[in-house]
A and B are shown apart, each in its own frame.
Chain A
Amino acid sequence: MPQNEYIEEAIKKHGRRFDHETRERKKAARKFHKDSQYAQKVHGWKAKMLNQKRRKEKIEMKKTIKLHEAKQADQKTDDVVPDGAVPAYLLDREGQQRAKVLSNMVKQKRKEKAGKWAVPLPKVRGIAEDEMFKVIKTGKRQAKAWKRMVTKPTFVGDGFTRKPPKYERFIRPMALRYKKANVTHPELKASFYLPIIGVKKNPQSPLYTQLGVLTKGTVIEVNVSELGLVTTGGKVVWGKYAQITNNPENDGCINALLLV
Chain B
Amino acid sequence: MSHRSECTDDPASASTTPNEPCKELLAHIDIDSAAPRAMEVDTPAQHVVIQFQSADGDRTGPPVSIPVDVTPAQLGLLINQLLENTDEPHPYAFYVNDAEIINSLVQDILQRQPNLSTEDTLTIVYQPQALFRVRPVTRCSASLTGHTEAVLQVSFSPDGRLLASASGDTTVRVWDLDTNTPRYTCRGHTNWVLSLAWSPDGSLLASGGMDNAVRLWDPRTGEALGGALKGHTKWITALAWEPYHLNPDCTRFASASKDGTVRIWDAVHRRVVLTIAQHTAAVTSLRWGGDGLLYTGSQDKTIKVWNPHEGKLIKTLTGHAHWINSLALSTDFVLRTGPFDHTCRRPASKEEAQRTALERYQAARGPHPERLVSASDDYTMYLWDPMNNRKPLARLTGHQKLVNHVNFSPDGRWIASAGFDNSVKLWDGATGRFVASLRGHVGAVYQVCWSSDSRLLVTASKDSTCKVWDLRTRKLKVDLPGHADEVFAADWSPGGDRVASGGKDRVLKIWRH
* Interface locus among A50-58, A170-178, A231-239, A251-259: A231-239
- Given A79-B190, A87-B488, A101-B464, are A230 and B153 also a contact pair (CB < 8 Å)? no
Q: Are A86 and B152 in contact (CB under 8 A)?
A: yes
Contact of A81 among B170, B461, B486 (CB under 8 A): B170
* B100 at the binding interface (Cβ < 8 Å): no
Residues of B within 8 A of A87 (CB): 152-153, 194, 446, 488-489
Residues facing B in A40-96 (CB within 8 A) are: 79, 81-92
A104 at the interface (CB under 8 A from B): yes
Asked if B153 and A81 sit within 8 Å, CB to CB, the answer is no
- CB contact under 8 A between A85 and B167, given known A101-B486, A232-B484: yes
A residues 204-227 touching B (CB-CB < 8 Å): none
Interface: B425 (CB within 8 A): no
Contact status of A236 and B167, CB under 8 A, knowing A85-B152, A86-B150, A100-B485: no
Question: Which chain A residues lie closer than 8 Å to B235 at the CB level?
Answer: 88, 91
Q: B404: CB under 8 A from chain A?
A: yes
Q: Is B336 an interface residue (CB 8 A)?
A: no
Tell me if A36 counts as interface (CB < 8 A to partner B): no
A88 contact from B190, B195, B441, B462, Cβ within 8 A: B195
Most central of B192, B446, B479 by chain A CB within 10 Å = B192
Interface of B is mostly: loop
| Chain A residues with CB under 8 A of B191 | 81-82
Interface membership of A161, Cβ < 8 A: no
Say yes or no for A228: interface residue by CB 8 A criterion. Answer: yes
> Which chain B residues border A81 with CB–CB below 8 Å?
149, 168-170, 190-192
| Given A83-B149, A85-B149, A89-B404, A235 and B485 contact (CB-CB distance below 8 Å) | no
Q: How far is the CA of A183 from the CA of B57 in the complex (A)?
A: 61
Does A103 sit at the interface, judged by CB under 8 A?
Answer: yes
**Tally of A-B Cβ pairs under 8 angstroms:** 89
Min CB–CB distance A78 → chain B (angstroms) = 10
Closest chain A residue to B170, Cβ basis: A81
Given contacts A89-B325, A104-B484, A228-B443, contact A233 B465 (CB under 8 A): yes
Given contacts A85-B168, A88-B237, contact A231 B488 (CB under 8 A): no
- Does B442 interact with chain A (Cβ within 8 Å)? yes
Q: Determine the chain A residues whose CB is within 8 A of the CB of B483 once the complex forms.
A: 232
Partner of B284, one of A89, A101, A228, A231: A89
Which B residue sits closest to A79, measured CB to CB?
B190
Contact status A231-B464, CB under 8 Å: yes
Does B238 contact A233, Cβ atoms closer than 8 Å?
Answer: no
> Which residues of chain B have C-beta atoms less than 8 A from A233's C-beta?
464-465, 481
Task: Count residues of B near A (Cβ-Cβ below 8 Å).
Answer: 45
A-side interface mostly: loop
With most chain A CB atoms within 10 A of its CB, the pick from B153, B443, B479 is B443
In the complex, which of the residues A85, A89, A100, A104 has the most CB atoms of chain B within 10 Å of its own CB atom? A85
Instruction: Please indicate the chain A residues that have their CB under 8 angstroms from the CB of B479 in the complex.
Output: 234
Residues of A within 8 A of B441 (CB): 234
B463 at the interface (CB under 8 A from A): yes
Q: Which residues on the A side are within 8 Å of B195 (C-beta)? A: 88
Report the Cα distance A109→B75, complex, angstroms: 56
- Give Cα A85 to B150, complex, Å: 6
> Any chain A CB within 8 A of the CB of B282?
yes
* Distance of A87 Cα from B460 Cα, bound (Å): 13
Contact of A236 with B152 at beta-carbon distance under 8 Å, contacts A89-B325, A101-B486 already known: no
Q: Does B227 contact A (CB under 8 A)?
A: no
B482 interface hit (Cβ, 8 Å): yes
CB distance from B508 to the nearest CB of A (A): 14
Please, which residue of chain B has its CB at the minimum distance from the CB of A225?
B442
CA A81 – CA B235 in complex, angstroms?
A: 14
* Docked complex Cα distance between A236 and B440 (Å): 11
- Least distance between B145 CB and chain A CB atoms (Å): 15
B461 CB contacts on chain A under 8 angstroms: 234
B465 touches A234 (CB 8 A): yes
Residues on the B chain within 8 Å of A103, using CB: 484
When chains A and B are docked, how far (Å) is the Cα of A231 from the Cα of B482? 10
- Pick from A79, A81, A86, A228 the residue with the most CB of B within 10 Å: A81
Chain A residues within an 8 Å CB radius of B170: 81
CB distance from B340 to the nearest CB of A (A): 26
Chain A proximity mask over B35-62: 1 for CB below 8 Å, otherwise 0: 0000000000000000000000000000
Instruction: Name the interface residues of B462-505: CB closer than 8 Å to any CB of A.
Output: 462-465, 467, 479, 481-486, 488-489
- A-B contacts, 16 of them at CB < 8 A, read A81-B169, A85-B152, A85-B192, A87-B152, A87-B488, A88-B236, A89-B325, A89-B404, A91-B235, A92-B323, A101-B485, A101-B486, A228-B442, A230-B443, A230-B464, A233-B481
The 7 closest A-B pairs by CB, nearest first: A85-B168, A234-B465, A230-B463, A233-B481, A88-B194, A87-B152, A85-B150
Q: A81-B170, A91-B237 are in contact. List 17 more A-B contacts (CB 8 A).
A: A84-B168, A86-B152, A87-B488, A88-B194, A88-B195, A88-B236, A89-B405, A89-B446, A91-B258, A92-B299, A228-B442, A230-B463, A230-B464, A232-B464, A234-B441, A234-B479, A236-B442
